[in-house]
Amino acid sequence: MRGGKDRHCARPQAALAEGGILRVTPGTYSNVTLFRRMLRQARPYWPHIATTLLLSLLATPLALLTPLPLKIAVDSVIGSHPVPLFLESLLPADATHSKTAVLVLAAGLLVALALVSQLQGVGISLMRTYTGEKLVLAFRARLFRHVQLLSLSYHDSRGATDSTYRIQYDAPAIEWITLDGVIPFITAGFALTGMIYVTARIDLQLALVALAVSPVLVLISQAYGRRLRVQWHEVYKVQSSAMTVVQEVLAAVRVVKAFGQEAREQERFIHHASEGLWARIRVAFAEAGFGLLIGVTIAVGTAIVLLIGVRHVQSGVLTLGDLLLVMAYLTQLYGPLQTLSWLAGHLQRSLASAERAFSLLDEAPDVAERQDPRALARAVGAVAFRKVSFAYDDDHPVLRDISFEISPGARVGIVGATGGGKTTLAGLLTRFYDPTAGQILLDSVDLRDYKLTDLRNQFAIVLQEPVLFSTSIAENITYACPGASRHDIVAAAKAANAHEFILGLPQGYESQVGERGMRLSGGERQRISLARAFLKDAPILILDEPTSSVDMRTEAAIMEAMERLMHGRTTFMIAHRPSTLTTCDVLLAIENGRLAEVESAVSTAASAGPVRSWGRP
């Protein structure tokens, strides 16, 4: 029962794709905004990032020194040019005039540079892995914490899969952008500056010609960057929809099998997955075109430099070793340029993920806590509704002008047709939703004035379909009281008539219940849920059709346990069975979202007529 929620659960301000997936318009956040927010998120790990950056910056001098052994071998061993000046000051005079010694020096320098480069690579790999994993973990934890704070109306309209996808697959964007984006961008900038300086010292004209391709690379990167961002958004949207199909089918696998719809669901999954396949192929074509243009542009620049350089060698402006050195530097000069261009285009994939992650963080909860909320240790249990109305959207009101008062310790039965708003009324009590009009008071204080955690600690809830977690029976019982002793756990289980069947399981209280408790029967799951409520010992109890899906014998055991649970507590019981309501002090009849009748439960239990008229047809 959802009190009308099933029919009208979409939020009007949300742009939803098929399957309840939130559409994020590409370009909602500028690149500068995304980088700034990512760096702010990464602030605790700035020292780690700085260390990774410093190790990366070592690549620039190493790259500058890499061609040096080749120049020495060509000019000073094969040719007759003197060794570079800085080597003359470091080596004995005899060594600089011995070609064998110079050749050994060049070979030794080559090995030393390779060793240092390898050590630098290992250092970067270790720091990058550690920093990246910590960044992703912290960002995922923040997203998960925020998703739990969002209102039920958000989860009702969006579903779980889209949020799961953003937490698991979009959150790593912080690693991709911070470590694969910012650090390579900075190191490429330093490398580019160094290469330009060295190349210009050798031949200024060649350096200027080599840099002439830069504006073309910038234009290409900007043009493809916008296109790639849009396409990656489409990829993530269709991938999320395919995950939604998997989640829905596995969650309802018994229904799928019962109706023999495996083939149909297989086709539905393949349809959504195929959309993702073709979306990825379209991105691959765009990236291939982008890479092709970058490569051709750089090749043209290299060819022009080669033509001019050969002419300079022929005219005596450059030596052959200088030309080889310039061409080696040119390759490394175009490397940073290519990296910067690649980042501008390919980083759009990460920016699209970051955009999706931050759009989730920017979702504001419908139920917000006030800045200075009132603490609440333990409520007395007096509840009052004053002209309360509620709607999931403006066009479909669920509750209208509900008013009543309940004394502490009273037992209230709530009856009405399916979809009439009974469960919604209970949801308003716990502030899963806030009323669109009117007030709900607990101990004469508006619910919105209380600290949200303190307020919800006043309620124990037993649902029609008990919710258990994939862990042990003991951990499920202690879910609301994690520090409870084994004595308290057993006492709660005994009070819920669950102790005997638990002892009959192979591992007793340590027995695993399986996903959603499916290793237990419906009655067993319900008694575990009751034991959890006993252990919480909250002053207000909400029972949402707790016996509707069990047999009469199990119902009797559950009712006996509920009678003990309700003692001394304000209780709201939603039910269709007249037998469930016999212990209630008052009945509230909800019809079409309005409070149709309030009466004593005694006369109702005797005739059962009004219950039938309000219940299922």
* Mean pLDDT, rounded, for 601-611: 39
The pLDDT value given to residue 441 = 94
Output DSSP code: residue 450. Answer: B
Burial class (CB in 10 A: 0-12, 13-18, 19+), 381: buried
SS3 state of residue 454? helix
Q: What CATH class has 383-614?
A: alpha beta
Question: 3-state SS string over 344-369?
Answer: HHHHHHHHHHHHHHHHHHCCCCCCCC
Non-local (6+) Cβ contacts of 424 within 8 A are 2, 3, 4, 5, 390, 398, 399, 433
Where is average pLDDT lowest: 125-139, 291-305, 594-608?
594-608
Whole-number pLDDT of residue 229: 78
User: What confidence tens digit (pLDDT) does each residue in 505-518 have?
Assistant: 888 989 888 887 78
- Share above pLDDT 90 across residues of the chain, in percent, rounded to a whole number: 13
Whole-prediction pTM: 0.70
Q: What letter represents residue 12's amino acid? A: P
Dist. CA 418–CA 464, nearest whole Å: 13
- Which helix (H) or strand (E) is 445 found in, with range? strand 445-446
Provide the percentage of residues in the chain whose pLDDT is more than 70. 84
pLDDT for res 333: 64
- Cα-to-chain-centroid distance, residue 257: 31
Q: Which residue has the higher pLDDT, 334 or 179?
A: 179
DSSP structure class, residue 367: S
Cα separation, 341 vs 294, whole angstroms: 8
At residue 113, the pLDDT reads 86
Reported as a single tens digit per residue, the pLDDT across 418-431 is 777 888 888 899 89
For the beta carbon of residue 227, count every other beta carbon within 10 angstroms.
16
Contact 220, 291 (CB under 8 A): no
* Higher per-residue pLDDT: 47 or 216: 47
Mean pLDDT throughout 546-568? 75
Cα distance between residue 458 and residue 536, in whole Å: 9
Most confident of the following: 52-61, 121-130, 394-403:
121-130
Please answer whether residues 588 and 404 qualify as being in contact, where contact means their C-beta atoms are separated by less than 8 angstroms. Answer: yes
Check whether 134 has a pLDDT greater than 90: yes
**Cα–Cα distance, 361 to 353 (Å, whole number):** 13
Q: At residue 605, does pLDDT exceed 70?
A: no
| Separation CA 499–CA 84 (nearest Å) | 88
User: Can you give the pLDDT at residue 342?
Assistant: 66
Residues of the chain with CATH 1.20.1560.10: 31-361
Tell me which residue of 78, 61, 65 sits closest to 321, measured CA to CA: 78
* pLDDT of 565 above 90: no
Tokens of 554: 């199990």
Q: Where in the chain is the domain with CATH 3.40.50.300?
A: 383-614
Query: How many angstroms separate the CA atoms of 420 and 615, rounded?
Result: 10
Question: What pLDDT does 103 receive?
Answer: 80
> pLDDT at position 346, please?
67
Q: What is the mean pLDDT of the chain?
A: 80
Mean pLDDT of 586-614: 60
Kindly indicate the confidence band of residue 611, based on its pLDDT and cuts at 50, 70 and 90: very low
| pLDDT at residue 496 is higher than 60 | yes
Among 276, 293, 317, 136, smallest CA distance to 223 is for 293
Class of domain 31-361 as given by CATH: mainly alpha
Q: Both tokens of residue 146?
A: 């925020």
Per-residue pLDDT of 428-469, as tens digits, reads 998 988 999 999 999 999 999 999 999 999 998 888 778 888
pLDDT reported for residue 607: 40
Closest to 361 measured CA to CA, from 148, 175, 176: 148
pLDDT over 80 at 397, yes or no: yes
